[in-house]
Amino acid sequence: MQPLEFMNRLLSRTLVLGVLLPVLHGCSARPVSGPPPVADPVDELSAGGPITPVPAQAKFAPARVELGRRLFLEPRLSHDDSLACAGCHPLDRGGMDGRARSPGANGVLSPRNTPTVFNAALNFRQFWDGRADSLERQIDGPVNNPDELGSSWAEVVQKLGRDPSYVTAFAAVYGRPVTPEGVRDAIATFERTLIYRRSRFDLFLAGDTAAMTMEEKQGFELFQEFGCASCHQGANVGGNMFERMGVIGDFFAGRGDPSDSDLGRFSVTGRPEDRFVFRVPSLRLVSLTAPYLHDGSIATLRETVTAMARHQLGRRISDAEARLLELFLQTLPGVPEGSFGAAPR
């Protein structure tokens, strides 16, 4: 098969599946569009297909980004000065700590697996249950949670306000003293620069058919044929809708011991139909961010692919098919952009 014919067949199938499969599989919310692509060679996608290249970053004031970087790495955001945002989201390890559940400042384990902070700006909601509608609102969660940073905004402002370097930085960036709004804005601005892009898959979408191997292309074809693209779509290959965990098969019956952390959106809305509904995770960095699922219960990507095919799509796939899907997923990350160095003290 010629490369152009192969590309057209893949994109045509993706377009059809992107329209029909959300209906067939009962996706519980329509995809939410991300920001419009910025002019860039990688963003010149041929027509069709629900998966799009990661757009170029917006430009932010360097001083605001640098302040956010310092705060992201600042352990004084925690009550006992022991844990920074980067403690659970290490930037040199794919933006998450590789644990099934992360310990907070007091040693208590989080109820859910820590998502990566990279490409989080592309998600339409934050947290597995989608309770925060922006990066700024997400920051309130760990600061005020006694089992995470265990602090409060009053305590954070007081501690940072005693540091002359922060006083100077906030005055320069915001024209005012340290405030909760300023801390939120600075950290969220820095997080918006934490983007992986220009992946081999994005290059393939832009027309470079040599960017992927034949087996990786076969994995992409299976990804569409099986219906994975009905929920894992957009620039982040997910993160833009809610879906039930166990559309076809009861995941929790097989795993056993369901807990409050498994209730998903129900904990936010209280609606019975939201039980076990979660924000669909992004797959952009999935090959770098084991273990998997909201509970961190599956150790490897191959196992996760097989389990999701069974519980979300009602398919029992072969080892060979799981391998091809895994090979495709390994083409998605790209390279990180942004500045991740240690914060000066």
Residues annotated as part of the active site:
148
Closest CA to 92 of 344, 336, 330, 345: 336
Helix, strand, or coil (residue 308):
helix
Q: Are 314 and 249 in contact (CB under 8 A)?
A: yes
Whose CA is closest to 228, among 249, 254, 200, 247?
247
Residue among 31, 18, 88, 40 at smallest CA distance from 202: 40
CA–CA separation, 117 and 121 (whole Å): 8
Distance (Å, whole) CA 199 – CA 331: 6
Main-chain dihedrals φ then ψ at residue 334, nearest 5 degrees:
85, -150
Cis omega before residue 3 (within 30°)?
A: no
Asked if residue 149 lies in contact with residue 79, where contact means CB atoms within 8 angstroms, the answer is: yes
In angstroms, how far is CA 242 from the centroid of its own chain? 13
At 126 the three-state DSSP class reads strand
Q: Are 111 and 101 in contact (CB under 8 A)?
A: yes
Query: Which residue intervals of the chain are DSSP H helices?
Result: 3-24, 62-72, 85-88, 135-144, 153-161, 164-174, 180-192, 200-205, 214-225, 251-255, 266-269, 301-313, 319-329
**Three-class DSSP category at 244:** strand
- How far is Cα 291 from Cα 247, in angstroms, rounded to an integer? 21
35 burial (CB, 10 Å; 0-12 / 13-18 / 19+) is: exposed
Contact 222, 321 (CB under 8 A): yes
